[in-house]
Amino acid sequence: MAVGEAERILVSVRLRPVNAREAERGDGSDWECAGPTTLMFRGNIPERAMFPATYAYDRVFNPECNTQQVYEQGAKRVAMSVLNGINSSIFAYGQTSSGKTYTMVGVTEHSMSDIYDYIDKHPEREFVLKFSAMEIYNEAVRDLLNPEATQLRLLDDPEKGTVVEKLTEETLTDKGHLLELLAVCEAQRQIGETALNETSSRSHQILRLTIESSAKQFMGRGNSSTLMACVNFVDLAGSERASQTQAAGTRLKEGSHINRSLLTLGKVIRQLSKGGNGHIPYRDSKLTRILQSSLGGNARTAIICTMSPAHCHLEQSRNTLLFANCAKNVATNAQVNVVMSDKVLVKHLQRELARLENELKLPGSASCRTHDEVLREKDELIKQLEEQLKDLMEQRDTVQSQLENFRRVASDGNINDRTTRQWDDYSRSSESLPRIVSEDVLSSSDTYDCAYEDKDDLGSKGLDASHICNGHHQDSEIPEGIAEPHQQTVDEHSVSSLHQLRNHISDRKEIYQANIMPSSELSEEHCKEVPWTETDEFRRSHFPADRFHAGTNSDEDNHSESMLDTTDSAIKLYTCDSDASSDTEKTNNDESLALKRCVISSRDSVLNRSRSCRASFMVIPNSWFDDSVIMKMPTPGEIFKYAPRNPDKISRSLYPDKGDCQNDLSLDCSVASGGVTSDTVVDKNTCNEEEEGAIDGISCIPKVKEKLEACRTSQLEGNQYTITEDFSDMKNAKDIGTDIAVTTVESPRWPIDFKKKQKEIIELWHDCNVSIVHRTYFFLLFKGDNKADNIYLEVEQRRLSFIKSSFSAGCESSATVTSSLRNLRHERDMLYRQMLRKLQLAEREIIYTKWGIDVNSKQRRLQLSRRIWTQTDMEHVRESAALVAKLVEHLEKGQAIKEMFGLSFTLNPRGAGRNSTWRR
């Protein structure tokens, strides 16, 4: 086998003859050699079938074989490798009295003899032989050539591996010298008498011959190289059973050390035989540490396993054969060890350098391929990045052109300008109130559920009249709240309604909330919200008049008025229409504040939106600025009117006792799927099969079923049942694309819950360093006068709770917390700058005074910016919101808003997709 190739340990098994003691006991031989490599079990034992009958090794030697043959066929090749600069080791392994020492003495002598023969035959080379010998006795290393020496230490050498410190190394003068030293070793070795062996070796003996050789003709010129290797002759102590050796005292102690180190050797061999990168416990014994390089390392190795064929040693023999089986699978990695002179080393290195250079030049060489691959990968990466850049630029161009388009449309006198002007007029009429939150401050952002968009920005998303609120009637007024599948037509408002509305307007601010979504989703997405924004026509066709408590226009008008009357602080939503002129006309006719609910669409837009977002222009009341404003709840009659189902039934459901509905809850689930709409009202008294069936069709609302079940139970028990749970799950159902409108008719207690939730959210904003502008808008927009607000608050509260828990659990990197604080500071800086621009001197002074800031202090603006939204009490919050709304009115669209919203709604951009940069 060529050097450097994977080799395996050469394993042979030698059977010794049955000795006199065994023969006396009549212990016959269980084993015989079936061939040069096969050993067979011939014994007759009951459990025979449990063990293999034949064993194959590199060589097997029957009792008749002499040691010469064993050496020739089982060790010579390995031993002689040392002359070629290859480390080698020859082991004898087996139970006590099996013939290890007998074999190793012979093998060593034959090896030495052959080595000297070789030296004699190669006069052209100069050989230097060094001899050392040690034994490991009771886990102590002893120098056999220096008996006086104390226990030797083992050192780890980075180049040589484990070395035995201060081990005597004799340079041999001739063969006779070697034989003398061998005799010394034999004399020094620990031997003891056991029941099995009168001269039992009680230690592991390692005889080491190191050979250096150089070609004589190059010696002394500085350009010679030397081969250097060593050969180990290892005579291991024999594994033994105390019962068999009848060991006691010293012998017992020796035996336990022997067995322990042999056990480690067995583990090492077993582990090596498995291959792979598992841990090899070399360091568990001195024997394996010293022999580490000979076991699976830079060495050729031969192991001669010796066996007694006697039946009484069957178990030990089997163990020996198992060890041999493992050993034959151990691969070694023998190398020629060359010691070079400096000159040779330089030459060698130069040659190596030239070779490597050639490899680099030649295409197809291993290293070139590696470089090529790396280059190819880089090229691909560059290509990908270029494509991404191109995409992004295209998207930017598209958005820009859409913006231009929309601006053109807008400048043609569309309704938005007019609406804005009208609204400005209205808002100017109320000096004491926060001013309109400007369109400019609201730029596209998809950070949060709601992206804020200014009117011009609608155009930037490719919105023209046909894009906006496609599929909705232009004059559909949507009474606010997800719950109500009812809507009003602006045209149908009576003059008095408009008048009332105008009065309300004076208490309101315009904010709009616009979301971006692909146009392909527009109609579908919008339709998902149809149950509460659908047209009259649709409503009439699906909900015949007889199913309504008030099914006529007149009734609706009444309702409209009623709503205006009763929901003083309600947010009004108007769908934007595809026909701008109509809208304008409507606006003119109504002279009402155009509160546009616009779903903005752009297929090309890279600005995504959450499905839970709604795009709306909203007028928000300033009721939050005034605690005294208490929302009026719909009367039971109004609730009744909204439910698109049999009024009698609902009436029964809601008012079983003719009026008391305070603790009832009814769920109206309009499931629009495949053109089918089914309505179900659930309450404690109407849990009938019809309703159950309808609800069964809504697989995504398990809570409804639970409530039904609870209702039924309650009915059976005759108890009143109250459902006060939130409806976030239903909101979720809507979000995931199920067309469900949930109408909740619940206890008028919910405004109280709203206040509580609002307070919690304010605390959470504070804890989570949420954007000030976000807080402001949220605070102003969601005032709790409808169920939809409750859902938004629920979502907001849950999200913030999650963020807070993530912060406190350390789930989020400190960088996220830090960056949110940093962003908050930037936001305050922005407000600080805005103060000078947006507030008149007198106005500023009033505000400073109001906020307890010395009007003459140098840092008054800074102080003010640092105080906004720092407390969680309602008065402070209200003041902060009012001030921020005023300051952000005319902010440049884009950067500021991105920063502001970037910190609020995403914990961490990790894992964000390609559009993540857009999702702040």
Kind and range of the H or E run holding 211: strand 204-215
d(CA 82, CA 213): 10
- Among residues 751, 507, 753, 512, the alpha carbon closest in space to that of 626 is found at 507
Query: Which is nearer to ligand ATP, 99 or 297 (by Cβ)?
Result: 99
Residue 737 counted as an annotated binding residue: no
> Closest distance between ligand ATP and the C-beta of residue 203, in Å?
9
Show the binding pattern over residues 404-443: x = contacts ligand ATP (CB under 6 A), - = does not. Answer: ----------------------------------------
Query: Which is nearer to ligand ATP, 98 or 605 (by Cβ)?
Result: 98
Is the CB of residue 207 less than 8 Å from the CB of residue 107? Answer: no
| Near ligand ATP in 220-239, by CB under 6 A | 237-238
For residue 314, give the 3-state DSSP assignment: helix
d(CA 241, CA 193): 14
> Closest distance between ligand ATP and the C-beta of residue 15, in Å?
8
- Among residues 745, 396, 788, the alpha carbon closest in space to that of 573 is found at 788
Stretch of 3-11, 23-31, 91-99, 136-144 contacting ligand ATP, by CB under 6 A:
91-99
Query: Which is nearer to ligand ATP, 195 or 874 (by Cβ)?
Result: 195
d(CA 425, CA 875): 28
Residue 220 counted as an annotated binding residue: no
Residue 430 counted as an annotated binding residue: no
> Closest distance between ligand ATP and the C-beta of residue 202, in Å?
8
By CB under 6 A, the count of residues binding ligand ATP is 18
> Closest distance between ligand ATP and the C-beta of residue 286, in Å?
18
Query: Which is nearer to ligand ATP, 100 or 799 (by Cβ)?
Result: 100
Show the binding pattern over residues 10-49: x = contacts ligand ATP (CB under 6 A), - = does not. Answer: ------xx-x------------------------------
Stretch of 93-101, 432-440, 681-689, 849-857 contacting ligand ATP, by CB under 6 A:
93-101
β-bridge pairing 508-513 and 616-621: antiparallel
Show the binding pattern over residues 301-320: x = contacts ligand ATP (CB under 6 A), - = does not. Answer: -----x--------------
Single out the residue of 94, 255, 462, 621 in contact with ligand ATP (rule: CB under 6 A).
94
Regarding 201 and contact with ligand ATP (CB under 6 A), the answer is yes
For residue 910, give the 3-state DSSP assignment: coil
- Among residues 519, 504, 523, 757, the alpha carbon closest in space to that of 632 is found at 504
d(CA 240, CA 243): 8
Is the CB of residue 633 less than 8 Å from the CB of residue 748? Answer: yes
Tokens in use for 246? 């009848």
Burial of 552 (0-12, 13-18, 19+ CB in 10 A): exposed
Residue 306 counted as an annotated binding residue: no
Is the CB of residue 89 less than 8 Å from the CB of residue 231? Answer: yes
> Closest distance between ligand ATP and the C-beta of residue 166, in Å?
27
Stretch of 90-98, 398-406, 509-517, 618-626 contacting ligand ATP, by CB under 6 A:
90-98
Per-position DSSP letters for 54-72, written without gaps between them: EEE-SEEE-TT--HHHHHH
Tokens in use for 628? 């005294």
Regarding 102 and contact with ligand ATP (CB under 6 A), the answer is yes
Helix runs in 48-136, H state only: 67-74, 76-80, 100-121
154, β-bridge pairs = 164
Query: Which is nearer to ligand ATP, 194 or 271 (by Cβ)?
Result: 194
Single out the residue of 62, 87, 88, 97 in contact with ligand ATP (rule: CB under 6 A).
97
Single out the residue of 12, 88, 101, 623 in contact with ligand ATP (rule: CB under 6 A).
101
d(CA 605, CA 444): 11
Is the CB of residue 641 less than 8 Å from the CB of residue 555? Answer: yes
Tokens in use for 318? 């089997």
- Among residues 572, 578, 571, 585, the alpha carbon closest in space to that of 601 is found at 578
Query: Which is nearer to ligand ATP, 57 or 918 (by Cβ)?
Result: 57
> Closest distance between ligand ATP and the C-beta of residue 326, in Å?
20
> Closest distance between ligand ATP and the C-beta of residue 204, in Å?
10
| Near ligand ATP in 171-200, by CB under 6 A | 197, 199-200
Single out the residue of 62, 81, 96, 261 in contact with ligand ATP (rule: CB under 6 A).
96
d(CA 24, CA 607): 98
Residue 666 counted as an annotated binding residue: no
Is the CB of residue 111 less than 8 Å from the CB of residue 179? Answer: no
Burial 142-165 (b: 16+ CB within 10 A, else e): bbbbbeeeeebeeeeeeeeebebe
Residue 99 counted as an annotated binding residue: yes
- Among residues 178, 181, 348, 330, the alpha carbon closest in space to that of 265 is found at 330
| Near ligand ATP in 711-750, by CB under 6 A | none
Query: Which is nearer to ligand ATP, 316 or 414 (by Cβ)?
Result: 316
> Closest distance between ligand ATP and the C-beta of residue 183, in Å?
17
Task: Specify the amino acid at residue 191.
Answer: I
Regarding 518 and contact with ligand ATP (CB under 6 A), the answer is no
d(CA 681, CA 670): 9
DSSP tag of 740 = E
Stretch of 94-102, 271-279, 411-419, 635-643 contacting ligand ATP, by CB under 6 A:
94-102
> Closest distance between ligand ATP and the C-beta of residue 232, in Å?
17
Phi, psi of 331, rounded to the nearest 5 degrees: -90, 145
Burial of 242 (0-12, 13-18, 19+ CB in 10 A): middle
Query: Which is nearer to ligand ATP, 96 or 790 (by Cβ)?
Result: 96
Residue 805 counted as an annotated binding residue: no
Stretch of 100-108, 453-461, 574-582, 669-677 contacting ligand ATP, by CB under 6 A:
100-108
> Closest distance between ligand ATP and the C-beta of residue 245, in Å?
8
Regarding 335 and contact with ligand ATP (CB under 6 A), the answer is no
Regarding 98 and contact with ligand ATP (CB under 6 A), the answer is yes
Say how many residues make up the chain: 920
Is the CB of residue 555 less than 8 Å from the CB of residue 635? Answer: no
Kind and range of the H or E run holding 147: none
For residue 536, give the 3-state DSSP assignment: helix
Query: Which is nearer to ligand ATP, 70 or 606 (by Cβ)?
Result: 70
209, β-bridge pairs = 131, 231
| Near ligand ATP in 859-918, by CB under 6 A | none
Stretch of 47-55, 89-97, 123-131, 343-351 contacting ligand ATP, by CB under 6 A:
89-97
| Near ligand ATP in 635-674, by CB under 6 A | none
Query: Which is nearer to ligand ATP, 59 or 526 (by Cβ)?
Result: 59
Kind and range of the H or E run holding 329: none
> Closest distance between ligand ATP and the C-beta of residue 104, in Å?
8
> Closest distance between ligand ATP and the C-beta of residue 266, in Å?
16
| Near ligand ATP in 245-304, by CB under 6 A | none
- Among residues 168, 160, 119, 162, the alpha carbon closest in space to that of 142 is found at 168
> Closest distance between ligand ATP and the C-beta of residue 72, in Å?
15
Single out the residue of 85, 99, 479, 636 in contact with ligand ATP (rule: CB under 6 A).
99
**Which residue is listed with tokens 């002007």?**
421
Residue 98 counted as an annotated binding residue: yes
Is the CB of residue 237 less than 8 Å from the CB of residue 194? Answer: no
> Closest distance between ligand ATP and the C-beta of residue 79, in Å?
19
Query: Which is nearer to ligand ATP, 204 or 774 (by Cβ)?
Result: 204
| Angle made by CA atoms 454, 458, 461, in degrees to the nearest 5 | 130
Distances (CA, A) of 697 to 206, 345, 382, 547: 85, 86, 52, 22
> Closest distance between ligand ATP and the C-beta of residue 191, in Å?
8
Residues comprising the binding site? 94-101
Residues comprising the binding site for ATP? 94-101
Interface positions with ligand ATP (CB under 6 A): 16-17, 19, 94, 96-102, 197, 199-201, 237-238, 306
